[in-house]
Amino acid sequence: MSLLKELQQLTERTYRQSSGINLEEFIIGTGRFQDLRKVSCKESFELSDNARLFFRILEGKLYLAIYFSKTIISRLEKYDPRKGLHEKNIYPFMVFIEEINHGTHTALKFLAGEKEIETEEFIRDLELLAKIDTYQILKFFLAYFNASKKLEKFDKLWLRHHLFERANFTYDSDRLSTRYKETNCLGEKYVRYLDAIPSHQRLAEMRRFREWNYPVKMQYIRMLPG
């Protein structure tokens, strides 16, 4: 099974939902990426070219396109995260997980009846969920390669450093800066909360949390201790 398929299925199992699609069929190359970027909003040119999810609804149908740069793919092929996580593959793996996560949640939300998928609220919700899910997936991979099959304290510190603390929010667009800073801060606080509750309660908590809209998620996290 491909790494992409594994990640899609892992996310769908986490939330006990199925998108009914294979995201591998929506991967595009550099040429198509450049074409889609040209017709996107001006802000999109500020975003990284390492990976991108494009989506739109046309005549009641959801259209998706997922792009990964050759740099990301080649690094993951050279340092397969299924053989271990380290400094040479943590960043490209994070990027890879987040885009697959965006695509999976977009499809699931569309199937659940959400049609306002181009709003800022929807996009921030995707970003927040991606931060949370990426952290959980990275924990899963790290624990697998430990002799004890459990996480060590340093593992969580290392993951939070790469996923949250190293994030850069420097954009010309105030909306982009606010979007990524806000979802990064909310995501970090929420995963710390998840780490603090008993492990057998985490899945139920994550499933309940996902069902709320973004304003409710934001308010909930801000009321959490810490």
List phi, psi (to 5°) of 115. Answer: -120, -20
Tokens of 10: 């892992």
Query: Does residue 40 fall inside a structural domain?
Result: yes
For residue 146, tell me if it sits in a domain.
Answer: yes
Q: How far apart are CA 206 and CA 69, in angstroms?
A: 31
Do strands 51-58 and 61-68 pair parallel, antiparallel, or not at all (unpaired)? Answer: antiparallel
Q: Does residue 226 belong to any structural domain of this protein?
A: no
Using DSSP's 3-state secondary structure scheme, residue 59 falls into: coil
Amino acid identity, residue 46? E
Determine, yes or no, domain membership for 157. yes
Token pair recorded at residue 139: 């924990």
Please check whether residue 224 lies inside any domain of the structure.
no
Q: Measured between alpha carbons, how far is 161 from 144 in angstroms, rounded to an integer?
A: 20
Q: Which domain holds residue 46?
A: 3-219
- Give phi and psi for 53, each to the nearest 5: -110, 130
What's the domain count of the chain? 1
Lookup result for tokens 């606010």: 178
Predicted pLDDT of residue 152: 86
Phi-psi region of 67 (alpha: psi -120 to 50; beta: other; left: phi over 0): beta
For every one of its 226 residues, what pLDDT tens digit does the chain have, with 9 covering 90 and above?
A: 799 999 999 999 999 999 999 999 999 999 999 999 999 888 889 999 999 999 999 999 999 999 999 999 999 999 999 999 999 999 999 999 999 999 999 999 999 999 999 999 999 999 999 999 999 999 999 999 888 888 988 999 999 999 999 999 999 999 999 999 999 999 999 999 999 999 999 999 999 999 999 999 999 999 999 7
Residue 79 lies in a domain: yes
